[in-house]
């Protein structure tokens, strides 16, 4: 690697909630972080795929949306002034002597870091595209794989395809603002929370939402504007359904990407770590959040927060090898209050 190299205490790969909270935990220990993310804004899947979808298991928040959580975390880490390098992917990671690594992104940005924290969720993700001829012509205009703002779908005639939590959650969230919502799923049973299924069926019974057992076979419309879809029912009969918007929710395709080539031990595209410091098979490289695996692992945001806290303690030993680590509580430490700007 050549050129202008950015020096960093820590480079965090992934700017989702766990990567953002890692900035806070590292900052408490005077470790400055640089973050790299392939998306165009912080927040990871929370902000990209379900910014307005409610999350119910964040401690202290009975309910919070993905975007609200991202905004709160961004506010929390502001005192530590992290640097974001967005719309970039780390393609190269190589050892640099005995005390660090050199990284290079796909647009040529180079870093030299004492520690590397992989907080990349499940890797790079893309929605699964339904096998419908010509669907590309409608994407971004009347076919969408995520809902950024509910108000953008006001008064639309929406067809939602899928049988998981995303399909049900968005059907319930959009029903009050849309002109009409129709769910099409190939069978009666859903792979979603029972409460959501019950609420959907109650709306369908009252005629406030439509549920069709079948599959979307064809789309029709002009110049990217959807006018309707051909639905094949369970008995094989086909019919045309008027709609101006299609939301297909068939899950995500996760790709580990260049991480697979960094020489780390992998288990089914996940990175094994120890549960003392969440270090990988390579010293100074950590993995936190959904990208890692260990006995008893739960893929929850709050688990990633816990992992970030323990990771930071070990990172401190690498970044400041001659300094003694002293545990302090944020409620009572005057030095932490000074870092956070608490008066």
| CB 1 within 8 Å of CB 92 | yes
Nearest CA to 48 out of 169, 146, 150 is that of 146
Q: State the average pLDDT over residues 306-333.
A: 94
User: Residues 231-251: what's their mean pLDDT?
Assistant: 93
Give Cβ neighbours of residue 193 (< 8 Å, ≥ 6 apart). 165, 168
- The tokens for 285 are 């490289």
DSSP category for residue 143: B
Q: Is-above-0.75 flag for pTM?
A: no
> Hunting for tokens 């010293």 — which residue is that?
283
Structure tokens at 196: 């959501």
Same fold, 5-125+253-340 and 129-250: yes
Element (H, E) at 293: strand 292-293
In the predicted structure, residue 2 carries a pLDDT above the cut 50 = no
Contact 160, 133 (CB under 8 A): no
Q: What is the pLDDT of residue 1?
A: 45
Residue 177: half-sphere exposure toward Cβ, Cα within 13 Å = 10
Running DSSP on this structure, what letter comes out for residue 234?
A: T
Tell me what pLDDT residue 50 has.
Answer: 67
Residues 6+ apart with CB under 8 A from 135: 129, 143, 219
Give the closest residue to 72 by CA, choosing from 61, 57, 88: 61
Quick check: 44 and 16 in contact, CB under 8 A?
yes
**Cβ-contact 245, 155 below 8 angstroms:** no
- Residue 256: its pLDDT value, please? 59
Residue 3 has what pLDDT? 55
| 230 DSSP β-pair partners | 218, 240
pLDDT at 121 over 90: no
CB 323 within 8 A of CB 30: no
Whether the pLDDT of residue 224 is over 60: the answer is yes
Q: How much of the chain, in percent, has pLDDT values that exceed 70?
A: 94
b (16+ CB within 10 A) / e for 199-220: bbeebbeeeebebbebbbeebe
Mean pLDDT score across all residues of the chain:
90
By CB neighbour count within 10 A (0-12 exposed, 13-18 middle, 19+ buried), where does 165 fall? Answer: middle
- d(Cα 264, Cα 256) in Å, to the nearest integer? 12
Kindly state the helix (H) or strand (E) to which residue 134 belongs, with its residue range: none
Q: Is the dihedral of CA 326, 331, 334, 337 positive or negative?
A: positive
Helix ranges restricted to H, the chain: 17-28, 44-49, 66-77, 165-174, 194-205, 301-319, 334-340
Question: How far is residue 33's CA from residue 312's CA, in Å, rounded to a whole number?
Answer: 11
- CATH architecture of residue range(s) 129-250: 3-Layer(bba) Sandwich (3.50)
Mean pLDDT, residues 287-305 taken together? 94
More confident call, 83 vs 99: 83
Q: How far apart are CA 181 and CA 160, in angstroms?
A: 7
Q: What is the dihedral of CA 200, 201, 202, 203, to 10 degrees?
A: 50
Cα–Cα distance measured from residue 44 to residue 38, given in angstroms and rounded to the nearest whole number: 9
Q: What is the pLDDT of residues 171-195, one digit of tens each?
A: 999 999 999 999 999 999 998 889 9
What would the pLDDT profile of 43-77 be if each residue is shown by its tens digit?
A: 887 776 667 778 899 999 999 998 999 999 999 99
CA–CA distance, 127 with 329 (Å, rounded to integer): 42
pLDDT surpasses 90 at 84:
yes
Spatial distance between the Cα atoms of 127 and 252, rounded to a whole number of angstroms: 4
* Domain spans of the chain, in order of start: 5-125+253-340, 129-250
Per CATH, domain 5-125+253-340 is 3.50.50.60: yes
pLDDT at site 205: 97
Mean pLDDT of 232-238: 92
């Amino acid at each position: 690697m050549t050129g202008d190299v950015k020096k960093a205490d820590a480079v965090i790969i992934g700017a989702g909630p766990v990567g953002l909270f890692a900035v806070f935990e590292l900052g408490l220990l005077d470790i400055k972080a640089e973050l790299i993310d392939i998306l165009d804004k912080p927040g990871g899947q929370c902000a990209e795929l379900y910014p307005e979808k409610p999350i119910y298991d964040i401690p202290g928040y009975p309910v919070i949306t993905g975007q609200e959580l991202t905004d709160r975390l961004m506010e929390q880490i502001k005192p530590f002034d992290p640097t974001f390098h967005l719309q970039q992917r780390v393609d190269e990671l190589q050892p640099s002597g005995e005390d660090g690594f050199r990284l290079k992104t796909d647009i040529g940005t180079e870093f030299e870091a004492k520690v590397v924290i992989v907080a990349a969720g499940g890797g790079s993700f893309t929605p699964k595209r339904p096998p419908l001829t010509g669907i590309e012509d409608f994407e971004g205009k009347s076919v969408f794989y995520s809902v950024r703002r509910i108000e953008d779908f006001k008064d639309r005639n929406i067809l939602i395809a899928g049988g998981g939590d995303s399909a049900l959650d968005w059907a319930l969230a959009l029903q009050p603002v849309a002109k009409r919502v129709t769910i099409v799923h190939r069978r009666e049973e859903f792979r979603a929370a029972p409460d959501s299924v019950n609420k959907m069926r109650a709306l369908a019974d009252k005629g406030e939402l439509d549920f069709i057992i079948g599959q979307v076979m064809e789309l029709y419309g002009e110049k990217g504007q959807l006018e309707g879809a051909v639905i094949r029912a369970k008995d094989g009969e086909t019919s045309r359904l008027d709609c101006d918007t299609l939301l297909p929710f068939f899950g995500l395709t996760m790709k580990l990407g260049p991480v697979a080539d960094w020489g780390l031990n992998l288990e089914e595209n996940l990175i094994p770590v120890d549960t003392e410091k969440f270090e990988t098979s390579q010293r100074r490289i950590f993995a936190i959040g959904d990208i890692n695996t260990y006995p008893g692992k739960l893929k929850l945001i709050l688990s990633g927060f816990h992992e970030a806290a323990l990771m930071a303690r070990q990172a401190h030993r690498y970044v400041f090898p001659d300094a003694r680590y002293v545990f302090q509580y944020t409620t009572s430490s005057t030095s932490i209050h000074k870092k956070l700007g608490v008066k």
